[in-house]
Structure 1
Amino acid sequence: MNPIEIKEPFYQIGIDFVGPLPSTKKKKRYIIVAMDYLTKWPEARVVTRDTAEETAKFIYEEIICRHGCPRKIISDRGIHFKNRLIESLTERFNIKHNFSTSYHPQTNGLVERFNKTLCEALAKLSTNNDWDKKIPSILFAYRNKVHSSTKVKPFFLVYSRKVRYFDNNDPSDNERVIELLEDLPSIRRKAKEEILRAQSKQKEY
C-alpha cells in the first residue's frame, strides 16, 4: 500500500461510527468520529442513530463550518456513508469521497485506532449511561497529547500555540507570538516527515 499524500491541515479526513453503545439518559447510542490525517485532530459527536442524516449534519457542522472543506473524506462502505445524501453533500462542496475496502481496511486505520483509544477511555471514565458526558474531556486530552506519528500535539498544529490551562499566564509577549507563527510551517513540515516515516515502518511490517 502506497503512503497517503497529505498536503495541509484538514486536506484529508477519515470518518467512522462507534457503536451501538449502552443507551444514555438522552437515548444516545452512537459516536460519529472524524480525524484529520495531518494534524491528527479528532472531532466527535454523540448521536442517537447511525444514519445518513446524522453523518451529513456532522460533516457540515463539525468539519466544513469549523475547519473548511476538506479535499478528501475516507470512510467504510456502510449505508450511513455510501448513500445519495452524502454523495450530494460531497458533490456540492467539491469533496472527493474515498471508500476503504475489506481488502485494505487499514486505509482508514487512523480513525479506527482513535476509536480504540476513545472506547478505552470511556470504559475507565464512565458508567453505562453517562459516557456521553465524557466525550469533550477525552477529545481535549487527545488533542493536547504528543502524537506518536507527528511528534507534535494536534492542538499546536491547528492553533499554532500551546493550550492555555487554568494556571497559565496570559501570553502577551508579541515576540513569542511572532516566533510561533514563523515556526508553524516548519513544524507542520516536520510533522509530515514523521508521518511518512511512520507509514514507511508500517509498510516494512
Structure 2
Amino acid sequence: MRCLLCHKEDTAMDIALLFWNNIISTCVVPKTIISDRDPKFTSEFWTNFYDILGTKLAFSTAYHPQTDGLAERMIQTMEDILRRFCAYGMEYKDHEGYTHDWVTFLPAVQLAYNTSQHSTTGKNT
C-alpha cells in the first residue's frame, strides 16, 4: 500500500505523473492495481498506460458489500493511524521549530500499515 497526496481537482494526467514519479520510478512495476471505478482510473489514458506497463487493472465491483467493506476498513485503519501520529505531532517541533501537519506523517503511516499484521489475512501487506 502506498500513500500519495493528491487533490480532488487532479486530472488523470496529474495522477499518472504522481504515479510515475512515486511508484514506477522508485519501485518495480506493479503486477496488479486494484482501484475503484473513478473515471480518473478507467479512462482510455489509464487503460493504455497500464497496458504499456503490463499491469493488470482490477476494479472493485460496484455495489459489492465485501469489496466496499474491505476498502472502507483499510481507509478507516489509515485514518486511525494518521490521527494517532497527528495527536502526538501536535506538540512535536522539528529542528527548525515547525509543527508538522498530517502530510508530514504519511510516510510513517504507510510504514506502520505495511508492517502490521492484518486480521483478515494474518500477513503483512
Q: Same fold (TM over 0.5)?
A: yes
Query: How many angstroms does 1:108 deviate by?
Result: 6.1
Find the counterpart in structure 2 of residue 142 from structure 1.
Answer: 113
* Whole-angstrom CA distance in 1 between matches of 2:29 and 2:101: 32
Letter in 2 for 1:48: H
Whole-angstrom distance in 1 between the partners of 2:78 and 2:32 = 23
How much identity, in percent, do the aligned residues show? 32
Higher helix share: 2
In the TM superposition, what is the alpha-carbon distance from 1:86 to its structure 2 partner? 1.0
Q: How many residues align?
A: 112
Which range is displaced more, 70-79 or 142-151? Answer: 142-151
Greater radius of gyration (CA): 1
Q: 1:75 aligns with which of 23, 30, 35?
A: 35
Aligned residue among 83, 86, 91 for 1:123: 83
- Residues in 1 aligned to 2:67 and 2:29: alpha-carbon distance in whole angstroms: 21
Deviation at 1:83, TM superposition (A): 1.2
Q: TM-score of the superposition, structure 2-length normalised? A: 0.68
* DSSP-derived class of the 1:67 partner: coil
Matched, 1:48 2:19: no
Output the CA distance in 2 between the equivalents of 1:62 and 1:105: 31
- In the alignment, the residues of structure 2 paired with residue 106 and residue 82 of structure 1 have an alpha-carbon distance, to the nearest angstrom, of 21
- Change in 2 beyond 3 A, CA 1:140/1:98: closer
- Alpha-carbon separation, structure 1, partners of 2:52 and 2:68: 23
**1:109/1:58 Cα in 2 relative to 1: closer, same or farther (>3 Å)?**
farther
> 1:133, 1:94 → 2: CA distance?
32
Structure 1: stretches of 5+ with no match in the other structure: 1-41, 155-205
The change in CA–CA distance for 1:140 and 1:133 in structure 2 (over 3 A counts) is same
Q: For structure 2, which runs of at least 5 residues remain unmatched after alignment? A: 88-99
Alignment root-mean-square deviation, CA: 2.7
